[in-house]
Chains A and B, each alone.
Chain A
């Protein structure tokens, strides 16, 4: 049937874009040779482009591709949400299993998304970038890139290791695992201490559908709000043949977006995502979609003056609070930023917490992790190096290559190898040679620098109890050479806190 075919086409396009999106996530891996840029969807996202550039006071021509999506509502309304948005597709898929079969009206929550949008824009005016908090595409990127990746890694590893250990086709299993390692995931299991927050975000968004289908898209998504506002001038429109309509209310009940008014004829233009379901479900075949002159159609601005003022006040006081929210410097001392990071304030304004750097780092050295409250509330989920989990690979500069907003500047390898992200120092109460007067040298042997930033000094040690004299190599650091890559802290054989740590002292930012 023709009607069903249009639904099939819409679903296929949705799946294609979701697959493309997942592909961009999978592309963020060592060896880095993407055939689609992993940042593509974030560059094409008008909300990210608007808020990040406004808050960061910069212009990057790559964001001009966001104009495509920004101009689309002038022709197609919110079709982006229904046909392209990969988070929308994810929600559609999960709604089949999660959403209740009731159709409650949620119209009263509708303005929330516009308030969120305006709050975000106003915050950006004051220099605070909140795109990371509510922007659907960074949220989806980090959900797939970090918990999603960890989950699939665990699953594939468990299954394949099970086969391997049971001796079932061990060579085939090794082939599969080595191919996975060559193209998708690291060899050793990636570890993330901060899986919960990105996981809870996406889980929360999907579970909102217990209230209504596409609850997020209807009421909360600021990108949807932005496209909705611009849809006012869209000529594409749902049209109902009055002579055929039997007022059965099927369309109204089944509308994913609750966009159909109670008279069955009019549609809220800022809500309709052109999923075409109403046309398919209409028993009287009364619904068509066509281009008409925009003036004839109704639309409403969601935002009242009161909520606009409310958003303004929130942004004013909120951004003030963010700025005044001083962090305890001794707490942030060990929050090492990726090599090439902008100065902290600029970094915060640009970092959209998409998790691309964290994901690509996990396939290489694995030091970058999302912060929880280490860098303050404002720094939630920004990347910091956790050297007990991983270290910065000497021959790797991928985090800067992949950052969509250049919060981490792209550096060529030679430049990065010399760049200081911090300096290591010994905790002499822990370090084995200083504490036990025994040889260890693990940090020294791993130091990747040609001149070695960790050197050894051999000294006589007289055991106070036995009087025995032995030679012990005591390590020391050349602060001018050390770049703070953290391999020493990572490989230190002590349990728990290492005997050598990297602090932000001497870090070079842009």
Chain B
């Protein structure tokens, strides 16, 4: 079933791109709000994502303070697909800085030891070289934040800088997760929370949505270059890694997660948190109705 859905999706995407080589706007006249790029190098795909979305300047203004939130949570090398592709992150950092961003901050509250995780996932070195401020997260960086409309929690510890930055770019990696089936953008925001995070797992869908009520990314770029099929989110087995060489991005965070889930081979409607997010008005989840603008590099 998984494979079939996956094949269908791939066939659909390929078909779509064959029909048209020009931009397709998903919502009529506005610039694309959802894009899917495939088979380029990470740098190329990052470039193309922004190009299709209407240029970096659509998101970044001169002097902006940007936060990029990749997944750096595990002490794993990039090929294990437990953490976001470092080349993709670095390229996004470069694009932001070239567009005039004053500062690009990268943080993640890791599951393994922060120093090991930052180092081993290579984002610290590569994004740091690209000019980002890669910072460790400390207890003192969190503030207790009210969650208006929260159904399962009214308050939680959230990273301070979330509320200081001009734009937040969420850069999750597409992975298997035994509780939510897949972990994508919504779950990635857990890296900006503190406290006893294990508790967020119960009831998981409600809490994930509640966190996303206060942490609102303006852009979500999903790394599906290498995905973790099984044993997520920490992985550790190369047999569980699959090359999709795809990047999905968009401004509607729910829709991006829905499409990423579909690319993974899951029915977005079966994801409880997406249903809740839709009900809370966080975005669309109907992948039949809203399709991405697609670009495929020919090898």
Contacts and interface: CB of A to CB of B under 8 A. Distances in A.
A439 B177 CA distance: 13
B138 A187 contact: yes
Contacts of B298: none
Given A491-B198, A493-B202, A187 B115 contact: yes
A187 B120 contact: no
A177 B136 contact: yes
B113 A493 contact: no
Given A181-B136, A445-B177, A450-B237, A30 B75 contact: no
B139 A188 contact: yes
A456 B202 contact: no
Interface centre among A165, A181, A187, A447, by most chain B C-beta atoms within 10 angstroms, is A187
Interface size class, chain A: 35 or more
B172 to A, nearest CB: 15
Given A442-B201, A448-B236, A452-B231, A395 B75 contact: yes
B138 A393 contact: no
B157 to A, nearest CB: 14
Given A174-B135, A441-B201, A186 B115 contact: yes
Contact of A448 (B139, B199, B232, B234): B234
Interface string B70-90: 000001000000000000000
Interface of A is mostly: loop
A365 B113 contact: yes
Interface in B20-43: none
B204 interface: yes
A444 interface: yes
A446 interface: yes
B245 to A, nearest CB: 23
A112 interface: no
Given A432-B202, A444-B178, A493-B196, A395 B116 contact: yes
A440 interface: yes
A147 B111 CA distance: 26
Interface string B181-210: 000000000000000111101111000000
A101 to B, nearest CB: 44
Nearest to A456: B178
A364 interface: yes
B119 A31 contact: yes
B201 A165 contact: no
A154 interface: no
B111 A449 contact: no
A266 interface: no
Contacts of A363: 115
B214 to A, nearest CB: 20
B139 A440 contact: no
B198 A30 contact: no
A332 interface: no
A378 interface: no
A492 B201 CA distance: 11
B115 A181 contact: yes
A33 to B, nearest CB: 13
Contacts of A456: 178
Given A161-B140, A393-B75, A395-B120, A178 B178 contact: no
B250 interface: no
Contacts of B236: 394, 448-450
Interface string B101-143: 0000000000111111001100000000000000111111100
Contacts of B201: 439-442, 493
Interface residues of B, number: 33
Contacts of B113: 30, 186-187, 364-365, 393, 396
A465 interface: no
B112 A393 contact: yes
A473 interface: yes
A187 B136 contact: yes
A164 B112 contact: no
B178 A445 contact: yes
Contacts of A187: 113-115, 136-138
Interface in A440-477: 440-442, 444-452, 456, 473
A446 B204 contact: no
Given A438-B202, A449-B236, A177 B138 contact: yes
A334 B140 CA distance: 33
Contacts of A174: 135
Interface in A171-214: 174, 177-178, 181-182, 186-189
A72 B137 CA distance: 50
B204 A493 contact: no
A153 to B, nearest CB: 12
Contacts of A445: 177-179, 232-234
A197 B25 CA distance: 69
A363 B203 CA distance: 33
B233 to A, nearest CB: 6
A393 B116 contact: yes
Contacts of B120: 395
Given A445-B177, A446-B111, A394 B136 contact: no
A450 B234 CA distance: 9
18 contacts: A30-B115, A164-B140, A164-B141, A178-B136, A186-B114, A187-B136, A364-B113, A365-B113, A393-B113, A395-B75, A439-B179, A440-B198, A440-B201, A442-B201, A445-B234, A446-B111, A448-B112, A491-B111
Interface of A: 30-31, 157, 161, 164-165, 174, 177-178, 181-182, 186-189, 363-365, 393-396, 432, 438-442, 444-452, 456, 473, 491-493
Ranked nearest first, the 5 interchain pairs of A and B with the lowest CB-CB distance are A493-B198, A450-B237, A161-B140, A187-B114, A442-B198
Interface of B: 75, 111-116, 119-120, 135-141, 177-179, 196-199, 201-204, 231-234, 236-237
Given A441-B201, A449-B236, 7 more contacts: A165-B140, A181-B114, A439-B179, A439-B201, A441-B179, A450-B237, A456-B178
